[in-house]
Each structure stands twice: as structure tokens, then as C-alpha cells.
A and B are shown apart, each in its own frame.
Chain A
Amino acid sequence: MMIQRVVRDLVTTKRVWGLHARKLRVVEDAKGNLDVAVDPVGAKVGDFVITIGYSAARIATGNPAVTTDLTIGGIIDNWSEEKWR
């Protein structure tokens, strides 16, 4: 799992069936690389979150049929920019 920050929401109306209607967020890592994650938690822009990758990401959505490789697992209570970099 990785520590990432939510950058923005992402809307994709035309999508594969496998993604269902899951909410998507753009997240960045400490180096500024962007990724897209499914968000079952409801994270806001600027929140530091734990993201789960690989096949565990599918379980983390609550439905293993969802075709994702990155899912937000939780919002971190106490994390700061300084600890992150």
C-alpha cells in the first residue's frame, strides 16, 4: 500500500462495464506522479490516503468483479507534506 494525495475528481461517462459506476479520483505520490484510483471511502481533494494496489485493489472495492488495479483504502488522520517528501 502507498501513501498518496487526492488531486482531483475524475469523470468518465463512457467506460467499460467492469468499472461499474465507481467513483474515480486522480491521486499523486510523493514524487508527483499521477495515478487514478477507485474511491469507496469518499476522500476529498487534498486528503492523504492509503491506496491498495495489485489484485487486492479489486477486493478493496467490495466487489472483486470491479476491474481496477488501485483503490483507496482509507484516509490518513495525521500526515503532512513534510513527513511525505
Chain B
Amino acid sequence: MKIFQVEGTLVATARISQLENRRLLVVRERGGGRQVAVDPVGCKEGDWVIAVGSSAAKDAAGHKDYPSDLTIVGIIDYWDESQPKAASPTTRVAT
């Protein structure tokens, strides 16, 4: 899985029927290029998400005959791009 940031929704009215009416999002890989992903989760613009590629993308989009090569599988709760290797902030317990 790879980490992407959501740039926005993509409207494509003329599409192949197998794509159904799924939401398509424009996503940008960390330090990489722009791609289009199927969104079965419901992401907002600016969200950091994880997405699966190749054949896992078909299953993740709903069924094994769905023609997707990139599907979002989760929204990252906390991601600080300035410190990508830092863990999520821990709750400090008052002593």
C-alpha cells in the first residue's frame, strides 16, 4: 500500500459501464505524480489516505471483476508531512 493525499473529485460522465457510479478521486503520491483512485471509503479533499494497487485494487473496490488498478482502502487518522517518520501523537496522562 502507498500513501496518497486527495486533491479532489474527478467527474467523468462518459465512462465504461463496469466502472459503475463509483466516486473517482485525483490523488497525489508523496513526492510523486498524480493518479486516479476509486474511493469506496468517502474521503475529503486534503485527506491523507492509503491505497492498494494491481489486483488487490479490484477486490477492494467491491468485487473481483471491478476494473480498478488503484483503490483507496483507508483514511489516515494523523499524518504530519513535515515529520513522516513520527508516530501518532500520544495522549499525555496527567500525573
Contact = CB atoms under 8 A, between A and B. Distances in A.
Interface size class of B (residues with CB under 8 A): 20 to 34
Contacts of A76: 10-12
Which one of B35, B38, B65, B67 has the greatest number of beta carbons of chain A within 10 Å? Answer: B67
Interface stretch (B54-62, B74-82, B87-95): B54-62
B12 A53 contact: no
Contacts of B18: 59-60, 62
A65 interface: no
Q: How large is the interface on A (under 10, 10 to 19, 20 to 34, 35 or more residues)?
A: 20 to 34
A79 to B, nearest CB: 8
Interface in B25-68: 26, 33-38, 53-55, 57-58, 65-68
Interface of A: 1-3, 30, 40-42, 50, 52-57, 59-60, 62, 71-79
Interface of B: 10-16, 18-19, 24, 26, 33-38, 53-55, 57-58, 65-70
